[in-house]
Structure 1
């Protein structure tokens, strides 16, 4: 079992070591397309929720985000530049839907900065309250 890193001073939430391990697998080894992270049921620790392999689609990723609850997510976005050069950007997404419980939104918002710092190598960031804010077009707009 992995040990937790230090608890977040502002929210008291710890980050499970597995979160960084899986992020490094996505970033360095390109083993995953996406990772979602969830607060455990006691609200004390951020843990890995779901992992999508490299073959999963963007729709698979967005449908893995719950309609009524918050998540942290990482998405490795592949695209072509205007010169047709293949590139990739790692997106960090704070998913906080409008219909999520207020306590959940507050807990995720207060843990956001600390969690982001644990994942070294994030290139772009989005905060989304509904699916339109994380559409494929929204990502494409950010990488131009």
Structure 2
């Protein structure tokens, strides 16, 4: 799972506000298309999710997986698969937030990286295109939700 797909977007808000939305995993179905349910199973000392179960509907297939989260304050979050689904066999993802230069109004560059492995054989180019579609949809949904 060395290859990751990545994309970035600038959101007119501060890192703290954006990370608060990202950390509210159970609200993902409101802004992240394809996510049907995200249930926190365990939280860390900071109150943020450590373990969660994700159910998604990815077009031709749906799946439920277990994820472990590691938080770096309001700068980044990383998650990885700890419980395979019927289709998904590997998953690594992250959001990284950085200051975006701008005129007076707070702005943050949000970068989303994702690598997914599935049981079904898939050509690398097709896999990256699917990852890119997931990433772009999530970033646009996050931007609409935060700025809306």
Normalised by the length of structure 2, the TM-score is 0.30
Q: Which has the higher helix share?
A: 1
Normalised by the length of structure 1, the TM-score is 0.31
**Structure of greater relative contact order (alpha carbons < 8 Å, 6+ residues apart):** 2
